[in-house]
Structure 1
Amino acid sequence: MEVREIIARRAAKELNDGEVANLGFGMPTQAVNYLPKGIKLIMHTENGAFGFGGKPNCNDADSDVSNAGSEPVTLLPGAACMSLATSLGAMRNGYIDVTILGALEVDQFGNIANWAVKRDGLWWPGIGGAMELTYGTKKIIATLQHTDKNGNSKIKKKCELPLTGKRCVKTIITEKAVFDVGEDMLILREIYPGLSLEDIKAITEADFIVGEDLKDMEL
């Protein structure tokens, strides 16, 4: 299974019946395609809609109906579309129960960095609505690959990139593991099948303890 699909499938399992949920740009937008059976949510996209569904087939796609990543989605009965300003206001004011965000880095304190990276000595910003979401959402789930292309951990003791939100992340999901954020350290909940605890320690910079109910990652 491809890395992005592993993360999106696992992230979808964090969503609960009846929640208002936002899916951020990148891997998080794919989670709507893997919702557990019977789960009914009000899905929100920051570009201005409540009540969207999964990806339509090619013949039913409408270029005017897309998510935050400009990917085609369906609008379910009762869906509401609005201006970007209204949508951002809903995000800041606590109308969203849970948000799944992509991240460049996260750390053991629940900090998240996902809007700016340095390349060849220059900052490349990608400012979106994540700052509103980390401020106004009750539960933040961060999704990212466990290491960068050089094998360095993206699960840090302390974020090195400019922060998007402070002490806001509750759960971290990678293709290798699932962590909860505890009191200044992480709690390992799940490991991808076939990997050992030593494998996770070798690729994780952050301090973490092993949860009492540690198990294989469910996909």
Structure 2
Amino acid sequence: MVVYIIGVGPGDPEYLTLKGYKAIKDSKIVVGWKGVIDRFSPILEGKEIVILDYKNELEQLNQVVEKAKGENIAILNHGDPSVSDSQFVEKIRNICADKNVKVTIISGVSSLNVLLAKLGLDMNFIGFVTLHVRGDISDYLRNILQILEMGRVAIVIPEPYNDGPQRVAKYLYQNGLNCRVAVFEKLTYENESLRYYDNLISLINDSHNFSDLTIMAIFSK
């Protein structure tokens, strides 16, 4: 039996790939965060659903992987598992290895892809950093500086706090920058939005509470 880690896209359920859809249909148990599970409830009828929570995440994952010895398991992952969830994916890989269960990653569309399309940018001219990580983010913040110093556009998924973009802006401003920024929220959702700032100070002074589904484009010029 298999544990599928399925990238389900950035928001709009129509971004789910056909391969991801088939893996979900082939699985008896479907696992994920509530916001992700809710988006796909129409195709989950008859499935055993496990809603993850941060407090019990490790225990829950161990339990569902144990069940994968007899049933296929689909773990739904926002966006693409390889773009902004390395720690979560590594945790599942380690559990599966310990229990001798096969794990298969099915790629999905990331908010990174959608942002590039909206701004007309190419991967050759950007650098990407996600701050959706647990622990010290100092090295990741320095990576943003290095990308901008190279003259590239820095695409950043900020920390999942309501002032996540402002925190990034403050760090860059404290390091001598004051560049343009575009901040997208809830890409591909019906209520997606774009806030554009001519400089970092404008973003720092913005009292807007951002959602945890936010991605930024920071321009070096």
TM over 0.5: no
Q: Which has the higher strand share?
A: 1
Q: Which has the higher helix share?
A: 2
Higher relative contact order (CA 8 A, sep 6+): 2
Q: Normalising by structure 1, what TM-score?
A: 0.30
